[in-house]
Amino acid sequence: MLNWPDSEEFWSDCRVCVTGGSGFLGSFVVEKLRQRGAKDIFVPRKKDYDLVEIEAVRQMLADAKPNIIIHLAANVGGIGANRAHPAEFFYNNLMMGVPLLHESWIAGVKKFVAIGTVCSYPKFAPIPFKEEDLWIGYPEETNAPYGLAKKMLLVQSQTYRQQYGFNSIFLLPVNLYGPRDNFDLETSHVIPALIRKCVEAKAKNLDEIVVWGDGSPTREFVYVEDAAEGILLATERYNNSQPVNLGSASEISIKELVDLIVSLTGFKGKIHWDTSKPNGQPRRKLDTQRAEALFGFKTSTDLVDGLKETIEDYQRTFMKIR
């Protein structure tokens, strides 16, 4: 084991700014920071600081005076949202990231943690996705604008370290899921969308749900609380600009995932596969050896257990709004 710092000691005197800290992943990161003893946590809200605007970025830095920035804020969504808003996903994610890292360097921030996306990988990257294969091809078309905008933070991180000695790191989480996820069918990712469809269909005695594609693509998922832990371990222990995957290293087909969620929710109807809709990237599975070797991160939540927690969370919400 490397000589890693004590978590509580690391955070005891830190002023940390978590952009997107009130969102899905961010809320778990903030909770874990508090559990580690962090007392000075600044969570900017969009109504006060629109990070697409450079003056808002500068004001946030002046108000927060952070030692560390964990940049989670992003425009995200599933295939449908990416197809409907490609320009927004490109511009907003680029402009929330690149100017913020630059202004953080100017402001003397000690460490910048940039969160990328598995969507940055080439469409046909070899399985499992290794970090060194990020540049061997173009991303899958439906989410390429988002993936490329986020990947520019990797280029920036590496060049600012090379020229200025700025300490920034770049992490690549795979698809997240868990309680507090976005269950809006217009913008959600596959797991919350499937859970909502199954729970509501069962409650309304519907005999069918519609699922996009043909079920053949594979995906890897990481429970949101595990991802939050990985981000904080990297913040504490990793100081290099080489990209690092965060995932579970477990692959499942969309068809298998649908069958699993159908079983866990108790939905008894039929599945209609709408093959007029896109499948997205054919396969996704990360090589996660680098994260374990460099900062000791491994996931601890089994997919079935994580899905049960997510389903229960949505069922509680669904019952409240019925």
SS3 of residue 19 by DSSP: strand
Please return the burial class of 77, using the count of CB atoms within 10 Å of its CB with bins 0-12, 13-18 and 19+: buried
For the chain, state the CA radius of gyration: 20
Q: For residues 303 and 238, is the Cβ–Cβ distance under 8 A?
A: no
The residues pairing with 315 across neighbouring beta strands, listed in sequence order, are none
Alpha carbon of residue 242 to chain centroid: 18
Buried b (16+ CB within 10 A) or exposed e, 245-255: bbbbbbbbebb
Residue bearing tokens 């269950």: 183
Q: For residues 311 and 195, is the Cβ–Cβ distance under 8 A?
A: yes
Please return the burial class of 261, using the count of CB atoms within 10 Å of its CB with bins 0-12, 13-18 and 19+: buried
Q: For residues 142 and 280, is the Cβ–Cβ distance under 8 A?
A: yes
List phi, psi (to 5°) of 4.
Answer: -85, 150
SS3 of residue 96 by DSSP: helix
List phi, psi (to 5°) of 129.
Answer: -65, 120
Catalytic site residues?
A: 146
Length in residues, the chain: 322
Encoded amino acid at 322, one letter = R
